[in-house]
Amino acid sequence: MAGKQSDTIFAQASGVGKAAVAVFRISGPACVAALAALAPGAVFPDRTATLRTLTDPATGEALDRALVIRFAAPRSFTGEEVAEIHVTGGRAVPAALARALAAAPGLRLAAPGEFAWRAFLNGKMDLSEAEGLADLVEAETEAQRRQAVRIAGGALRRECDAIRAALLDAMATVEAQLDFSDVEDADLSEQSVRAAARRALDRIDRGLASARSAERLRTGYVVVIAGPPNVGKSTLLNAIAGRDVAITSPFAGTTRDPIEVAVDLAGYPVVLVDTAGIRDAADPVEQEGVRRARQRAEDADLTLWLDDGLGRSGAPGGALIVRTKSDLAGADAPPSTDGAEFAISAKTGQGIDRLLAAIAERAVDGMATAEPAVLTAARHRDAFAEARSALASILAADTIEAELAAESFRIAAAAMDRVVGRIGVEDVLGAIFSRLCVGK
């Protein structure tokens, strides 16, 4: 992360553009001096909203009436001197305030995520909470928000800390009796070490059990719309999206690139992917489209296999078979599709609600967890899996070798430290904090 910590940073924390209010944040040692320059003579008591007219120190001209809240260090978001300035939104007022702040001695514009970065450095939040915060900003559905707010609130940190404390206890026990043969009751010691490893392992397994579902909730449940050409795949995508996302036409082979649309089903994020119609294509571009379609269907959480009943099949196992164009009747009506559980018409909308309900049911199944999930990223899952195998190695041994057991407990505890960012995270810090926007 760029910049020295002795710098004072500022940024517009609210979105840019037409808005009632714009919020600026300042953090760092020059914060109080900057406020004094903007409002000479004014007093800004700690943690109190104060209404003042701010003036541009360069010209003495009024900038705007502002609501200012000062947070004295260390009781602030970053742990430093912080101020929040609320002014009129829109373009001109925030731009003028940004100019005045940039000109203030010792102030510079913050980098993306730099406020959170300082909070992390000052022990105000751990790495998992920063990840939760980034997820919260990115959350698009209610279920994503619920999960992110839990992690941002420290649910994973607390779990890691509890597991780590138990592991350090067990390690201390083992180290205190480094050679069990010297101990009066070696059997009992072995038992207590095994029990400690077992307890931690169970807790880690509980976390791992919901990890995949929680990760899927962050990224969305992927539903691929596949099938032969011209059966109405793109028309269905447009009908669900409620807009013309994909080109449709009576010509087979219209869609080439996979087209993604994110939708909210029952509060859960679902990514619908329209794909090229699958056939033996002569055109090399269409061939590539078909290759991508097959690949996406293979990687999907769920495949919808659309068919208009014209005797073309090839649905992959596990796919939902959907008979399309059910509005066509009489001489136009194609023969029925074998095994179709759903009949839809993208033209009349018939059957689409039922299909969406079936997709939502599967999506919720794939993302909801019995217990509130705490492992929400691959990074967390990897660390827990490493701790798991270290503890499993203790339990697998016929007799407990004190030194080996101590080392295994240490490895498992270090994995917990990595999740919260206490150690060994240099390579992931940049990626995590740069996900946050300027002003966070």
Q: Is 235 in the site for K ion (CB under 5 A)?
A: no
Question: Which of these segments, 101-109, 153-161, 223-231, 383-391, binds K ion (CB under 5 A)?
Answer: 223-231
If binding is defined by CB under 5 A, does position 144 make contact with K ion? no
Is 332 annotated in a binding site? The answer is: no
234 known member of a binding site: yes
Query: Residue 218 or residue 233: which is nearer to ligand GTP going by CB?
Result: 233
User: Is 252 flagged in the annotation as binding?
Assistant: yes
Residue 230, marked binder: yes
Provide, rounded to whole angstroms, the least separation between the CB of residue 232 and K ion: 8
Beta-sheet strand order (sheet of 320-323): 259-265, 268-274, 221-226, 302-307, 320-323, 342-343
**Long-range CB contacts (< 8 A, 24+ apart) of 65-68?**
66/97, 68/35, 68/39, 68/44
Check whether 369 is labelled as a binding-site residue. Answer: no
Q: Is 326 annotated as belonging to a binding site?
A: no
The reply on whether position 337 binds Mg ion by CB under 5 A is no
Which of K ion, ligand GTP, Mg ion, none does 336 bind, CB closer than 5 to 8 A by kind? none
Interface mask toward Mg ion for 362-401; x: CB under 5 A: ----------------------------------------
3 is in an annotated binding site: no
Residue 254 as a binder of K ion (CB under 5 A): the answer is yes
Three-state secondary structure along the chain? CCCCCCCEEEEECCCCEEEEEEEEEEECCCHHHHHHHHCCCCCCCECCEEEEEEECCCCCCEEEEEEEEEECCCCCCCCCCEEEEEEEEECHHHHHHHHHHHHCCCEEECCCCHHHHHHHHCCCCCHHHHHHHHHHHHCCCHHHHHHHHHHHCCHHHHHHHHHHHHHHHHHHHHHHCCCHHHCCCHHHHHHHHHHHHHHHHHHHHHHHHCHHHHHHHHHCEEEEEECCCCCCHHHHHHHHHCCCCCCCCCCCCCCCCCEEEEEEECCEEEEEEECCCCCCCCCHHHHHHHHHHHHHHHHCCEEEEEECCCCCCCCCCCCEEEECCCCCCHHHCCCCCCCCCEECCCCCCCCHHHHHHHHHHHHHHHHCCCCCCCCCCHHHHHHHHHHHHHHHHHHHCCCCCHHHHHHHHHHHHHHHHHHHCCCCCHHHHHHHHCCCCCCC
- Are 236 and 324 within 8 A, CB to CB? yes
Consult the annotation and say whether 154 binds a ligand.
no
Q: Residue 238, interface with K ion (CB under 5 A)?
A: no
Least Å distance, CB 286 to Mg ion, is 11
Segment near K ion (CB under 5 A); pick from 188-196, 242-250, 329-337, 361-369? 242-250
Residue 273 CB, shortest distance to ligand GTP, in Å, is 12
* Least Å from the CB of residue 256 to K ion: 11
173 known ligand binder: no
Binding site for ligand GTP (CB under 6 A): 229-235, 248-250, 252-255, 276-277, 324-325, 327-328, 345-347
Q: Which amino acid is at 377?
A: A
Question: Of 288 and 382, which has the nearer Cβ to ligand GTP?
Answer: 288
Least distance from ligand GTP to the Cβ atom of residue 88, Å = 48
Closer residue to Mg ion, CB minimum distance, 76 or 275: 275
Residue from 27, 147, 238, 255 that binds Mg ion (CB under 5 A)? Answer: 255
- Flag whether 238 is marked binding: no
Binding segment (CB under 5 A) for Mg ion, from list 4-12, 60-68, 151-159, 249-257: 249-257
Nearest to 122 by CA among 81, 80, 152, 84: 80
CB of 230 to ligand GTP, least distance (A): 4
Least separation in angstroms between residue 249's CB and ligand GTP is 5
234 part of the interface to Mg ion, by CB under 5 A: yes
Site residues (CB under 5 A) for K ion?
A: 230, 249, 254
Binding-site sequence positions for GTP: 230-235, 249-255, 274-277
Site residues (CB under 5 A) for Mg ion?
A: 233-234, 254-255
Binding-site sequence positions: 25, 84, 124, 230-235, 249-255, 274-277, 440
Binding-site sequence positions for Mg(2+): 234, 255
